[in-house]
Structure 1
Amino acid sequence: MATSSRAKVCLVACGSFNPITNMHLRLFELAKDTLHQTGRFEVVGGIVSPVNDAYGKKGLISGEHRLKMCKLATASSDWIRVVDWEVEQKAWTPTRKTMEHYENTLNSQAGSTVSLKLLCGGDLLESFAVPDLWAVDDMDKLTGHFGLVVVTRAGSNPEKFIHESDALYKNRSNIMIAREWISNEISSTEIRRAIRRQSSVRYLIPDPVLEYIKANDLYQV
């Protein structure tokens, strides 16, 4: 199938990125491969969208530092960019509103229609089952209008989870599963713990990000 006949897609990853790790970057590459291999999509861009400081997650450092680390991590990419829109807001923005903003902005700039898909790990998919965590309308908009690309590890069973969730099952055709067969358990929480304990995290995060953390004495407390 010719590339020009494929639907243009931009992948959006929303999260703390506290700090951004090599696994975060791998999500983009895995999702891009998965979409291209269907023959139906052309990934034309990727957006890293760090959450606002008002999200209030324990241990969340300032958006200024998280933005800088994300930009350092993606500097060598020719298709992934960091957008500061969420960080610059006065309050935390629900994921649905963030996706709607990027959709409107992107398509007002693009010469053709680009659809957005929310890029996430299996843990976010499973969070849809947590009572009262997601507004029903938001969940429906994210899975129905936008769609998800879920990167999951070998041994997990997202298809079973989708089957058991009426909300997800309704929009199952718009949820794509990208499997990571190369075992990788990199966790930002574990990265922060290792840094506090003065253990090496080299090769778990990009070198420029590690240098920035050291230079700014981050995650020590």
Structure 2
Amino acid sequence: MTSQEKIKVVLLACGSFNPITNMHLRMFELARDHLEDTGRYIVVKGIISPVGDSYKKKGLIDACHRLKMARLATENSSWITVDDWESQQPEWVETAKVVRHHHTKLSSSENYIDDVDTVKCGKRRKLEQHESICQNSSHINTKADTSHLQLLCGADVLESFGVPNLWKPEDIEEIVGRYGIACITRCGSDPENFIYQSDVLYRHRKNIHVIREWVTNEISATHVRRALRRGQSVRYLLPDSVVQYIQDHSLYSAESEQKNAGVILAPFQRYTSSN
């Protein structure tokens, strides 16, 4: 490449993180490698945004625990952080609004890239070193107005766009058309086919980065919770600090899995009643 300038990217992952797994963390690394391998981007930050309790998903434990586990899982990362804004809202917040919130912060705050949750001195130094490398490269533009926010998700989230009353059509249009998506494939998923079948996704296909994980790792939070309530080991599926936290607080039991049982998921409540 000649003098092409790279765009700074912030990756935002929204979800339950119930609990956070090694695969959730792996998604960030995969997306960063893929985007930077294109030669067009430099990924400077990753954000984990756990959903609030008002989402009403079955088996969803309290946000305070999910936030703490996410922070423990990322304490050794120099670039992945945890944000509690979404989880602290009194009502469920649509993903499009969460993305919009972080985009506004990105556009308005010069310190947003460096605003890392629970940053330790070592992490801060690593982050500063990474930023210094970016700023010293003659091919990288680090001006604030070139920073870009992308939603990071698995193929299951992308395919959920087709579930009636789970997403507002205008939210899908905004997320994909204005911000873009980094989508990690999973075993049995076919995101390219889903993109082809959707007029909206196909129209914005250049904004969707489909990223394949060749070293397959099918860790599922659902399977982790099942193992936990059966008293089975989940070590090496989750960071050790998260496993210890779960044990210390006796999280994930047959009782906790029944939380919100019979309650309609927040998006279905909101969108079905409005139709």
Whether TM-score is above 0.5 comes out as yes
Q: CA deviation at 1:4?
A: 8.5
1:143 alignment partner in structure 2? 176
Report the structure number with the largest CA radius of gyration: 2
1:118 alignment partner in structure 2? 151
- Secondary structure of 2:151's counterpart equals strand
Q: 1:197 aligns with which of 225, 230, 246?
A: 230
Which aligned pairs between 1:3-152 and structure 2 lie closer than 5 A?
5-110=5-110, 112-113=144-145, 114-152=147-185
Q: 111-120 or 41-50: which moved more?
A: 111-120
Q: CA deviation at 1:130?
A: 1.4
In the comparison of the two structures, how many residue pairs are matched?
A: 221
More strand by share: 1
Q: 157-166 or 117-126: which moved more?
A: 157-166
- Secondary structure of 2:45's counterpart equals strand
- CA deviation string 1:26-75 (max 9, x = no partner): 00000000100111111110000000110000111111000000000000
Q: CA deviation at 1:7?
A: 0.8
Q: 2:190 aligns with which of 141, 153, 157?
A: 157
- Secondary structure of 1:54's counterpart equals helix
TM-score (norm 1): 0.96
Q: CA deviation at 1:133?
A: 1.7
% identical aligned pairs: 54
Which aligned pairs between 1:166-177 and structure 2 lie closer than 5 A?
166-177=199-210
Q: CA deviation at 1:185?
A: 1.0
Q: CA deviation at 1:156?
A: 3.5
Q: Is the 8 A contact 1:149 1:175 kept in 2?
A: yes
- CA deviation string 1:132-169 (max 9, x = no partner): 22111100000000100000035642111111111110
Q: Which has the higher contact order (CA 8 A, sep 6+)?
A: 2
TM-score (norm 2): 0.78
Cα distance in 2 for partners of 1:128, 1:216 equals 35
Q: Is the 8 A contact 1:122 1:158 kept in 2?
A: yes
Q: Which runs of 5+ in 1 are unaligned?
A: none
